[in-house]
Amino acid sequence: MKSHHLRGLALLAAGLAIGAPGLAHAQYVSYGDMGGGSGMDGTMPSGDSDAESGDDGALDAVPLAKHGGRVKVTPYIEASQVMLAELSPGNDVLTYTSIAAGADVALDGRNTQGALSLRYERRFGWGKDTSDSDTLSGLARVSTAIVPRTLTIEAGALASRMSVENNGAAVSGLEFGDSVTQIYSVYAGPSLQTRAGDVDISAQYRIGYNRVESPNSLSIAPGQPLVDVFDDSVVHNAQVHAGTRAGELLPVGIGVGAGWNREDVSNLDQRIDDKHLRADITIPVGHDLALVGGVGWENVKISSRDAVRDPVTGLALRGPDGRYVTDKSQPRVLAYDAEGLIWDAGVIWRPSRRTALEAHVGKRYGSTSYYGSFAYAPSPRTSINVSVYDNVAGFGGMLNQSLANLPTQFEAVRNPLNGDLNGCVAPTGTVSAGQSSCFGGALGSVRSSAFRARGVMASVGVGGNRLQYGVGGGYDRRKFIAAPGTVLALANGVVDENVWVAAYLNGRIDRDSSFGTNVWANWYQSGDALTGDSSSIGATAAYYRSITNHLTATAAVGVDGVSRDLVDDVWSAQAMVGVRYSF
């Protein structure tokens, strides 16, 4: 197994080894984060029976399925034969044999919930035009209550395989060469929720690590070099809040809080450092409605160094991995410096334990900011979640946040032909306000530059006894920020936009057979006119037949296409037959 896959396994193991939930109050996780948290106290009037439960306005966890405190571990091995046919622009037909090993884990206990899906696959090509290759993919989320309802730890990890184009876009593809990009992400941290007299106190800290390995650039703009691809980063996020509930000490709820977010990106020593202090107020205006507002101070700095320059030509030098070589002899250069007053106002509506809405408008990062979330569980097996976000981050920080927003109980949705994760999960446990069942939007671009991200994500999941289906989609807009006078200056002000959607439908046909279908699409618009835009679309269908209690046969077909402005479209089809033995 390659060393980068060993590192990926270590990251996933670390993500599960230390795990437990973040703050029960989603609004405290990060002011204006991707989860749509409010940063406010969010408490409903004391007459609200839900408020007495101490959830302070967050949607109560809604059970989608009950596992009765089970721990279920399902390791498996798999063998399959695959045929890949190029439909355009060529007509090559390739075949290979695949051997895979993996495990699916579900934890549902009184104080611990979590899920893991991990898969390693090795492919052996038939013929001189098909090379051997391997790939690792996995997703994990776990939460453990060290002290029930007071001290918890949460963790998560991701390993994903993508293809990178020279405009920075990352798309799912059928290529399995060793140079295909592997993306890893892991985070962990504790959270505290307690009460001192009439004051609720909550705090949270999270540390994350993210890495992109072996970028393989497909030149969609001939003659244009690959943008500087993200290498790795370390992310720190800390929040603390103290406040009173409306109707207890005062007719209104009041609070104070502080937050710190920092990401150190290895590319050119980029650093995002964001600190804020704020005071907030919650004004009840009804049994299930409250107005919220806050004012504070924020300091956001983004800085970096320049690349080493050729002494003769003055051109920036790249290392063996294709990334710019950082000139550590030069001082840091500021790319962004915003300090001053921040404010926001909004509304929290919670008509029942299964519905929560937050909407906020204010000023942050020197301009108007909008963020919020909506969560609705019309039945124990159905969840609907929407979040609107606005933040400053790097690729790693965005990925860590998306991972942290996933539920702790899920089933991974995979492509049956190549085992890839499709960007969404099927929830099987609890869903809370601010969570999402999709993470694919964070993978849209692997540019190394810091950016301001604005967007919206939405997901719907239904888990029935015979049918399970879900759909997720979103829009992500990234405006990149880079220091003047450095090699990344050309990226400053560039806007990349990404629209994505993914859906699945799985079901049981009879006692011994079932089916699964996936569809996905992605539209990427680059702000760099020289590299053009691209879009991808695909679909798969699979049939599963139980031969024995442990042995299952699979037949699957799929089609995949990528369309680009500056080069020919690429379309291909696959067919596969295989068997899986589950222990």
In this prediction, residues 483-511 reach a mean pLDDT of 91
Per-residue pLDDT tens over the stretch 333-353: 999 999 999 999 999 999 998
Query: Considering only CA atoms, which of 430, 538, 489 is closest in space to residue 114?
Result: 430
Q: Which of 93-102, 255-264, 479-488 has the highest mean pLDDT?
A: 255-264
Single-letter amino acid code for the residue at 440: G
Q: What is the mean pLDDT of residues 181-205?
A: 95
Q: What is the mean pLDDT of residues 363-383?
A: 90
Choose among 98, 87, 162, 163: nearest CA to 130: 98
pLDDT at 429 over 70: no
Coil, strand or helix: which one is 34? coil
Q: Which two tokens stand for residue 468?
A: 């399970």
440 neighbors 423 (Cβ within 8 angstroms):
yes
Angle at 403 between CA 355 and CA 176, to 5 degrees: 130
Lowest mean pLDDT among 106-120, 172-186, 315-329, 513-527: 172-186
- Cα dihedral value 24, 28, 32, 33, nearest 10: -50
The DSSP line for 529-550 is TTT--EEEEEEEEEEEEESSSS
Q: Give residue 216's pLDDT.
A: 52
Angle at 39 between CA 34 and CA 44, to 5 degrees: 115
Other CB atoms within 10 A of residue 552 CB = 20
Q: What share of the chain is helix, strand, coil (3-state, %, to 5)?
A: 5, 60, 30
> Under DSSP, is residue 398 helix (H, G, I), strand (E, B) or coil?
helix
b/e map 484-504, b = 16+ CB within 10 Å: eebbbeebbebebbbbbbbbb
Does residue 574 carry a pLDDT above 70?
yes
Structure tokens at 416: 């049956």
Higher pLDDT, 43 or 455: 455
pLDDT at position 427: 83
pLDDT at 432: 67
Residue 509 has pLDDT above 90, yes or no: yes
The answer to whether residue 55 scores a pLDDT higher than 50 is no
409: Cβ–Cβ under 8 A, 6 or more apart, which residues? 64, 65, 67, 106, 108, 113, 114, 115, 427, 428, 429, 430
Q: Is-contact 426 106, C-beta < 8 A?
A: no
Q: Hey, which residues does 250 pair with through a beta bridge?
A: 246
Q: Does position 179 have pLDDT exceeding 80, yes or no?
A: no
Whether residue 274 is predicted with pLDDT greater than 80 in this model: the reply is: yes
The pLDDT score that the predictor gives to residue 82 is 92
Low-confidence winner among 123-137, 198-212, 236-250, 260-274 (lowest mean pLDDT): 123-137
For 6, other C-beta atoms within 10 Å of its C-beta total 11
Rounded CA-CA distance 561/221 in Å is 18
Cis check: omega of the bond before 89, within 30 degrees of 0: yes
- In the structure encoding, which two tokens stand for residue 324, read together? 């710019």
- Per-residue pLDDT, averaged over 407-417, amounts to 89
H-state helical runs in 432-498 = none
CB atoms within 10 A of CB 97: 15
SS3 343: strand
Each residue's pLDDT tens digit, 374-383: 999 888 888 8
Q: Can you name the residues that pair with 570 across neighbouring β-strands?
A: 562
Q: Please give the average per-residue pLDDT across 504-524, as a whole number.
A: 93
Please name which of 209, 211, 339, 360 lies closest in space to residue 280, comparing C-alpha atoms.
360
Which pLDDT score is estimated for 526? 81
Tokens standing for 522? 């992605």
Where residue 66 falls among pLDDT bands split at 50, 70, 90? very low
Tokens read off for 149? 């309802």
More confident residue, 229 or 220: 229
What DSSP designation does 33 have? Answer: -
47: left (phi over 0), alpha (psi -120 to 50) or beta: alpha
Mean pLDDT to the nearest integer, 204-212: 96
pTM: 0.85
Tens of pLDDT, residues 440-450: 888 888 889 99
Question: How many residues are present in the chain?
Answer: 583
Q: Specify the pLDDT at position 3.
A: 56
Residue 9 is predicted with a pLDDT of 54
- Other beta carbons within 10 Å of 260: 14
CA distance 386 to 370: 14
Of 393 and 422, the one with more pLDDT: 393
Outline where 362-512 has alpha helix (H): 395-404
The number of beta carbons lying within 10 Å of the beta carbon of residue 74 is 12
